[in-house]
Chain A
């Protein structure tokens, strides 16, 4: 099976007798990542992880260097940037480096989950130490050969040089000897100063490009094993419905079908294993065909009644008064409103969203000899594997998980429901079985980004300054008491902490539909109402929006006193200024054309965006240009930075323009890209990405560029037309691309 190596292959290669340096020591150091939402609910990748930094570096006597990347690759570029980080400290010749996905084993590799833009910051120290340790071992080996002092040796591009004598030895020549050097305590090794970086900060292409452009099988969907069966599930369309009966015997007789059965497992979480009927067949198509031939009677007595149209109606009614739960109250809001020169109100709403990564969910599972081997595109592998072990009653080491390259994540693969399904199937199917979701399955049975409603009120004084802010947030709840994990308001969000008089209240609508983290959880929803309403305020005050924002931020400082992780006013101002300058903010534009600006801080990244749009009479939008200005600390791979900016803008445009998931009677109404549209190349604007130079440690950029896009676009539409759109997607207001 080319492209996807098995654990056995890996162990063989890494213990191969051919000599060479195999770095396999725990390099020490504990990094604590605690990030919780205001409501205390964990968000994507925000668990408290203790990182045991250890990465394998293998140097062959011929000079080839293999670096293992431990984290899942979902298109965010971690496989390339993590290897760059190791290679930088090692002074490896990048042209001789190949990168492979490591096996899944937290005891060796530490955290392997990807989400929350945390992979880069969480692995940064460990990866650098790993590279530094390898370099130190190579120097030690060289110094021993030459019988010289180690500190007379330097390294560059995979060569150790003894300066006084000008002798050199290549890493390949040293590999076998270096392998015999004890692994040093890497926490004591000096790390490079960022000024001396040769690789970090440059433009390095994706290490898997050649495999991708030649169509080499490397995704979970591509797994093929001898004797493998294919599975498809018919899941209950309505949340809460269960299987009553099905024409199982008829479908069993269809060609290629080997088994049809009602899926049950008493130990499985009902939210992860949806009531369903499984079909096992000899090809994907036969499995799909048989699945479509199923006639299932669903018992709907306990089915949910989730209804978007009803939620909208209820939210409108609720917006007329305050929410029952007070989330934050500061100052004298009533006083500020009664003494205001001007007050404004706006009711904003955004819909549920599906992640729709281009590779539909899938997992291949093989249960044999008391062990379960799985190939799965999953982001949250660190939690999924123990959960599967528990479900199957196996010890952790009996569950072997392989991480293929993953065709997009966007948060969908932080859930592992498809692994639960495949594990349950594997108990019944002899031999390996590949569960394949159709696109319709993917869109109908997601963990959706919840929609939300905001009844906003703001007050301006006679000088046009914002003096009070009020938000009644209408969100969703699964238990009737607290909002769903990602449907929470953030009291640290600008401008709340910089204002004296604020009042945030909340109402909960009952929800049975599954929800989950979506690229830039919370922020992807909240940025739109907040940043648009700020623009409403600046426009009402007759002030330039950039000037209004800079004034509101004020002096450089973390805006939540004592919280260094809160938005930094100085870094925010810098990206706002940079975006404005690059976009030519304030320039006179043709009628029907406008620029909009929005700022948002999420996942440790400060990002400002300017959208330049023309709007035709029939509401056709032409986005000419999007300027992204970001401060995400030091940038490891500049190409990766640009990719994430472009990708987030395209994602943001898809969301703003036409995407929405609606449900009626507990069933999702959309099913494929026909009714859940993605932006096409013809509508793709030019995206320019700029960064504020920074020596701060790097943070991930998979997420922070998404939230500002929708508000920047809507602010631009207002500038172009005078129409204020408060409901997403824009297609509901007649706009199209």
Chain B
């Protein structure tokens, strides 16, 4: 049995899990949190990005059994309770960032972690924070614009 704290809620996984099971597959297959995406399973694409104690991390590279007691946030927990979108989610809609959309949960989680650290990120900050998130559809130009827009809307506040 494994207990995980996901999006502020304690979740119990009672299926027998192999110790090697990555967080990604526990989220998706066991908890039904399918917003976190599987793109490569090798730490290359960032589609599986979640927050571990507020830091961005690749859920395909983390063993779930090691995460008891830590705060895990997934894309499903990015909006405020009650459904008000995070300013980044709103900026993503306003700038029409998604194409196929498959990478975007991971992009948003990386961007949200960036804005926690840097309330007014430069292009260089964005490049380094987002370099691990691949977009096969090529939405980078709008991702950059949306991050800047959200940052200025948040007016220096760390969400």
Contact = CB atoms under 8 A, between A and B. Distances in A.
A358 B44 contact: no
Interface of B: 15-16, 18, 20-22, 25, 28-30, 32-42, 44-45, 47, 74-76, 78-79, 85, 89, 92-94, 96-105, 108, 126-128, 130-131, 133-144
B35 A358 contact: no
A360 B108 CA distance: 20
B42 A77 contact: no
A603 to B, nearest CB: 18
Kindly list the 6 A-B residue pairs having the minimum CB-CB distance in the complex, ordered from nearest: A215-B35, A650-B138, A75-B100, A407-B102, A215-B75, A684-B140
Interface string A268-295: 0000000000000011111011000000
Interface of A: 74-77, 203, 205-206, 208-210, 212-217, 219, 221-222, 224, 230, 255-256, 282-286, 288-289, 356-360, 405-410, 436, 438-439, 639, 643, 646-651, 672-674, 678-682, 684, 686-687
A215 B34 contact: yes
Contacts of B38: 221, 284, 360, 436
Contacts of B41: 288, 438-439, 672
Contact of B99 (A230, A283, A647, A674): A647
A614 B41 CA distance: 35
Given A74-B100, A212-B101, A284-B29, A673 B137 contact: no
Given A358-B135, A650-B138, A285 B98 contact: no
- Most B-side CB within 10 Å, residue of A409, A678, A686: A678
B18 A289 contact: yes
Nearest to A685: B141
Contacts of B126: 681
Contacts of B108: 213
Nearest to A228: B29
A607 to B, nearest CB: 16
A214 B82 CA distance: 13
Contacts of A289: 18, 20
Question: Interface of chain B, helix or strand or loop or mixed?
Answer: loop
Contacts of A212: 92, 98, 101, 104-105
A269 B155 CA distance: 59
Among B15, B28, B33, B99, max chain A CB count under 10 A is at: B99
Highest count of chain A CB atoms <10 Å: which of B89, B96, B130, B137: B137
A358 B28 contact: no
A645 B104 CA distance: 19
A219 B102 contact: yes
A673 B140 contact: no
Contacts of B103: 358
Contacts of B133: 681
B39 A408 contact: no
A712 to B, nearest CB: 16
Nearest to A648: B138
Contact of A217 (B35, B47, B130, B138): B35
A75 B39 contact: no
A276 B70 CA distance: 40
A203 B142 CA distance: 14
